[in-house]
């Protein structure tokens, strides 16, 4: 009887796991529909390059500012209420895009959307970390991350097709329906409220602002910051790099990268569970750096695809492994704050990469050279992780009984 109970407790594919992953897929699909199309809509409203850049930056800023507070709210107020509020805010903001006739209103709605996005993604990441069994955390987080990957691979092309065929109004309605579908499906999550605190915590600014960052999440989040910075530089300037290198269709990079993410995430999740984080993080970082190096010398569609395969294998391994490690280092009552810390580092890294690589390209003579210089970030990541391993080994040696 005990054996059956233990086996059931270790099941990964429960209804809650499937529902949460599906809700995340719908949310990310709603978001990714707008990645290539929002700039086009802003240009149609009369926005120039500066306004379009501000439009994208406001979203990231709102998300970054929101995540720590959302993480704290998840621990204080409970998971489902915060998740519902975030998803509803996303749906309302996206629907408002279709009514925005001036650029100023679009900027305001973009900021509101960023708040909803920060709340929703932090909430879903926290809910899934509660659901996944501890001994299958790497595998579970890897599979959950595939929902992001599928949206990333398919939604941008879908968004461009809808906008060109049916117009922006149809695009925004489609994105709105997906966001609200994610919210409705999330109601099916049968997650019991956590009992981490014996006394109820009053919803005050003091209670919400204290402990916004989770100490156990700081090291994985720092390592994530370096990889996200590299990724931000790649996705922001890849089209311009293609023009510089004479590669007409850089879309193959995203296709191959997405395929490699789909292949590597479940496999490296199993390795994480059986061998530990080092067996995933070190090879993953090396592949990420190798992919950046190959990308910097790419001069054809074939060499670009090869770089994408190596980079995708590395980045697809590191990110879910760091998330699983974050949850492993965090008490259950602080998982909301941990996810807020982790995803804030991701947002900050992507934003930093978008700015840093542009500066590097200007000063080093091109985007290829800038990609080579960004490998230094991976070297720093490995150095920091090596120092952690050495320190952890010495600490274990000191407390080991004679």
In this prediction, residues 46-74 reach a mean pLDDT of 81
Q: Which of 342, 333, 332, 346 shows the shortest CA–CA distance to 133? A: 332
- Give the residue carrying structure tokens 């409970």: 78
If phi > 0 it is left, if psi is from -120 to 50 it is alpha, else beta; for residue 204 that is beta
Checking if the pLDDT of 223 tops 70, the result is yes
pLDDT digits (tens, 9 = 90+) for 247-306: 877 778 878 888 888 888 888 888 888 888 999 999 999 999 999 999 999 999 899 999
**Residue 202 neighbours by CB distance under 10 Å:** 9
All CATH 1.20.1250.20 domain ranges in the chain, comma separated: 14-189, 213-402
Interatomic CA distance for residues 400 and 70, integer angstroms: 40
Furthest CA-CA distance within the chain: 74
Phi-psi region of 167 (alpha: psi -120 to 50; beta: other; left: phi over 0): left
Best CA proximity match to 365, nearest among 244, 194, 262, 225: 244
Mean of the pLDDT values across residues 384-398? 88
Quick one: tokens of 208? 């919400």
Gyration radius (Cα) of the chain, Å: 21
Neighbouring C-alpha atoms within 13 Å toward the C-beta of 297: 5
CB within 8 Å of 265: residues ≥ 6 apart: 142, 143, 145, 146, 149, 316, 317, 320
Contacts of 389 (CB under 8 A, 6+ apart): 278
Query: Of the candidates 34, 157, 158, 159, which has an alpha carbon nearest to the alpha carbon of residue 93?
Result: 34
Taking residues 7-25, report their average pLDDT.
Answer: 83
Closest CA to 226 of 354, 349, 386: 349
| Main-chain phi, psi angles of 263, to 5 degrees | -80, -45
What does pTM read for this prediction? 0.76
Assess whether pLDDT exceeds 60 at residue 206: no
Which of 99-108, 172-181, 193-202 shows the lowest mean pLDDT across its residues?
193-202
What average pLDDT does the structure give for the chain? Answer: 84
Q: 129-167 pLDDT, tens per residue? A: 888 888 888 888 888 888 887 887 788 888 889 998 999
In terms of C-beta density within 10 A (0-12 exposed, 13-18 middle, 19 or more buried), how is residue 190 classed? exposed
pLDDT at residue 121, rounded to an integer: 92
CATH of domain 14-189: 1.20.1250.20
Tell me the two tokens of residue 296.
């910097």
DSSP character at residue 193: P
pLDDT for the residue numbered 227: 93
At 187, give phi and psi (nearest 5°): -65, -20
Contact by Cβ (8 Å): 371, 307: no
CA angle at 178 for the pair 30 and 312, rounded to the nearest 5°: 40
- DSSP H helix total and E strand total for the chain: 15, 0
CATH fold label, 213-402: Growth Hormone; Chain: A; (1.20.1250)
Per-residue model confidence (pLDDT) at position 83: 94
At residue 2 the predicted structure's pLDDT band, cuts being 50, 70 and 90, is very low
DSSP designation for 34: T
| C-alpha span between 66 and 52 (Å, rounded) | 22
Reply yes or no on whether the pLDDT at 3 is more than 70. Answer: no
Predicted confidence (pLDDT) per residue in 305-353, tens digit: 999 999 999 988 898 889 888 888 888 778 778 888 888 888 888 878 8
């Amino acid at each position: 009887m005990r054996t059956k109970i233990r086996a059931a407790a270790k099941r990964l594919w429960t209804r809650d796991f499937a529902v949460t992953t599906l809700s995340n897929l719908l949310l990310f699909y709603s978001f990714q529909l707008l990645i290539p199309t929002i700039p086009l809509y802003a240009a149609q409203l009369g926005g120039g390059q500066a306004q379009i850049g501000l439009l994208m930056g406001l979203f990231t800023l709102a998300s970054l500012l929101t995540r720590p507070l959302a993480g704290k709210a998840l621990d204080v107020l409970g998971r489902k209420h915060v998740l519902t509020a975030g998803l509803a805010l996303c749906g309302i903001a996206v629907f408002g895009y279709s009514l925005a006739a001036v650029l100023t209103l679009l900027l305001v709605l973009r900021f509101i959307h960023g708040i909803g996005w920060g709340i929703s993604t932090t909430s879903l990441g926290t809910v899934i970390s509660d659901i996944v069994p501890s001994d299958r955390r790497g595998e579970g987080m890897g599979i959950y991350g595939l929902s992001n990957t599928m949206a990333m691979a398919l939604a941008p092309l879908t968004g461009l097709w809808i906008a060109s065929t049916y117009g922006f109004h149809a695009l925004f309605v489609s994105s709105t329906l997906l966001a609200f579908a994610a919210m409705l499906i999330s109601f099916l999550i049968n997650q019991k409220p956590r009992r981490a605190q014996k006394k109820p915590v009053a919803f005050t600014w003091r209670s919400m602002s204290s402990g916004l960052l989770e100490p156990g999440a700081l090291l994985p989040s720092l390592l994530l910051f370096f990889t996200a910075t590299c990724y931000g530089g790649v996705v922001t300037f890849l089209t311009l790099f293609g023009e510089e290198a004479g590669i007409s269709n850089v879309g193959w990079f995203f296709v191959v990268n997405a395929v490699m993410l789909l292949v590597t995430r479940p496999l490296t999740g199993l390795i994480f569970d059986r061998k530990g984080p080092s067996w995933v993080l070190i090879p993953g970082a090396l592949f990420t750096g190798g992919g950046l190096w190959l990308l910097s010398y790419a001069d054809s569609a074939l060499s670009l695809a090869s770089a994408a395969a190596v980079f995708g294998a590395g980045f697809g391994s590191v990110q879910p492994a760091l998330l699983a490690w974050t949850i492993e280092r965090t008490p259950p009552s602080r998982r909301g704050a941990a996810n807020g810390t982790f995803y804030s580092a991701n947002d900050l890294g992507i934003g930093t990469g978008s700015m840093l690589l542009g500066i590097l390209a200007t000063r080093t003579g091109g985007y290829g050279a800038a990609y080579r210089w960004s490998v230094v970030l991976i070297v720093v990541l490995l150095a920091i992780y090596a120092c952690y391993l050495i320190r952890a080994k010495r600490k274990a040696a000191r407390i080991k009984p004679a």
